[in-house]
Amino acid sequence: MAYRRVLIPLDGSHIAERALPYAKTIASNTGSELMLFTVTPAPSEKLDRPMKAYLEHNAKALKSQRMKVITATAYGNAADEIIKFTNKNKIDLIIISTHGHSGIKRWVLGSVALKVLYGTCTPVLLIKSRAHKISKVEFKKILVPLDGSPFSEASIPYVKELAKGTGGEIILLRVSEPPVLPADRSPAIKPSWEEYRDILMAEIQRQAEEYLEGIKANLGKSGIKVRSQAILGKAAESILQIAQKEDINLIAMTTQGRTGISRWVYGSVASRIVEESLQPVMLIRPSVPK
């Protein structure tokens, strides 16, 4: 999965520019062409000139670091124009800050990013405006939550490309919800409720570890550092806890998924991760047959 063209929507704010260090790192590692893009409400000489100068200023700084950069502008609704530009120019990744605004026009980037995410199948890397500003980005640890489905595994090629040749480590995480047993189980039945629960939990854990080992082995063939962790718990809470504990640089996950053991409502899980984590989140909408 190559990142040939990377789109960075900017609105003139410092918060929106937080996407730029991530774009620089990805371009340095993969040779991507960076496309700086802005949207204004309507053609206006008063607005066009400063925004084009702003884009060119940022482009010049990137070009000085030997990066391929182009700039483009459009008129209309920010989210709609970003989606149109993405589809027309075969963009491989969109990097966007979650909030931002400019003196020309306020972009509520939280809603723009959400509309873009659900308006295109192109992966979206969301940079959290609440996180500390950083000038240099390194993907030392990338967390990949999996639920055992082809949907969740669709994130792997994207992560593999980011980690390849950088020395970064991929951490595979499988979260399984504890089994729910009928409350009316008779105490006289053997094994007891507690024993039966323990048997089920042990089997769930065994299957999860076996599943992760298979994914890990395939990734390991590429020379990428990989480790895995299987835990029992609630999906969103567990992902957030591991991300904080491991000092993760990026969480990469799909927006839908299903497993034979339990169903992850990936829309709500991903939503919670985006809302509560300080780490950047790459969201992928796979087109996998059901």
Q: How far is CA 269 from the centre of its chain?
A: 12
Percent of the chain with pLDDT over 70: 85
In this model, does residue 211 exceed pLDDT 70? yes
This prediction's pTM: 0.86
CA distances from 32 to 2, 26, 35, 66, 127 (A): 8, 7, 9, 11, 18
- What's the average model confidence in pLDDT over 205-224? 93
| Angstrom distance (rounded) from CA 10 to CA 276 | 23
Determine contact, residues 262/288, Cβ cutoff 8 Å: no
* CA 286, 142, 223, 148 torsion-angle sign: negative
Two tokens at 215?
Answer: 């994914």
Q: Report the pLDDT value the prediction gives residue 35, as an integer from 0 to 100.
A: 98
Residue 65 pLDDT class (50, 70, 90 cuts)? very high
Residue 257 pLDDT class (50, 70, 90 cuts)? very low
Two tokens at 202?
Answer: 């042990």
Residue that has been written with the tokens 């062409």 in this structure: 33
Q: How many residues does the chain have?
A: 290
Q: Report the pLDDT value the prediction gives residue 238, as an integer from 0 to 100.
A: 95
Greater confidence (101 vs 200) lies with 200
In this model, does residue 222 exceed pLDDT 90? no
Pick the CATH number of 141-280 from 3.40.50.620, 3.40.50.920, 1.10.260.40, 3.30.499.10: 3.40.50.620
In this model, does residue 198 exceed pLDDT 60? yes
Question: Hey, is 1 helix, strand or coil?
Answer: coil
Phi and psi based region of residue 199 (left: phi greater than 0; alpha: psi -120 to 50; beta: remaining): alpha
Query: Where do you find CATH 3.40.50.620 in the chain?
Result: 5-127, 141-280
Secondary-structure class of domain 5-127 per CATH: alpha beta
Q: Report the pLDDT value the prediction gives residue 184, as an integer from 0 to 100.
A: 63
Query: Which residue in 233, 247, 245, 243 sits closest to 273, CA to CA?
Result: 243
